[in-house]
């Protein structure tokens, strides 16, 4: 697609439930990032994929959070046993790996997660 696409745009769930958030990056972008943005804060790094593999998952807050990118394109962020503190906007971004490289990230509009 023309831009980074994230679904759902809004998700309301109950504490303890399982949630999946999907990201479809810009075609040809090999690097994919997940960030979390809480109200009034900047994006907080969660995980970075280069191709299919997680190159850096140091930002995942705990083992309830997991992300996959099985074919090197679409990625899914999975949150188990959701807690109220997980409520935030989850941002996905992609980046071209080769060529004229400035490190620019292209962001989707985010998935707003509310845990009741």
Exposure on the CB side of residue 64, measured as CA atoms within 13 A: 13
Stretch touching other proteins by CB under 8 A, among 16-24, 30-38, 64-72, 74-82: 30-38
Distance CA 12, CA 14 (A): 7
Residue 60 in contact with other proteins, rule: CB under 8 A: no
How distant, in Å, are the alpha carbons of 80, 103, 114 from that of 29? 28, 12, 29
CB of 56 to other proteins, least distance (A): 5
Contact set with other proteins (CB under 8 A): 4, 31, 33, 35, 40-45, 48, 50, 55-56, 58-59, 91, 93, 102-105, 107-110
């Amino acid at each position: 697609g023309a831009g980074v696409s994230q679904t759902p745009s809004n998700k309301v769930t109950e504490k303890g439930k399982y949630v999946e958030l999907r990201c479809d990056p810009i075609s040809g972008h090999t690097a994919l990032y997940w960030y979390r943005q809480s109200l009034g804060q900047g994006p907080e790094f969660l995980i970075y994929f280069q191709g299919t593999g997680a190159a850096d998952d140091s930002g995942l807050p705990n083992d309830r959070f997991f992300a996959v990118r099985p074919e090197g394109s679409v990625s899914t962020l999975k949150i188990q046993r959701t807690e109220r503190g997980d409520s935030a906007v989850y941002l996905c971004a992609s980046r071209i790996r080769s060529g004229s490289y400035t490190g620019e990230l292209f962001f989707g509009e985010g998935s707003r997660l509310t845990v009741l």
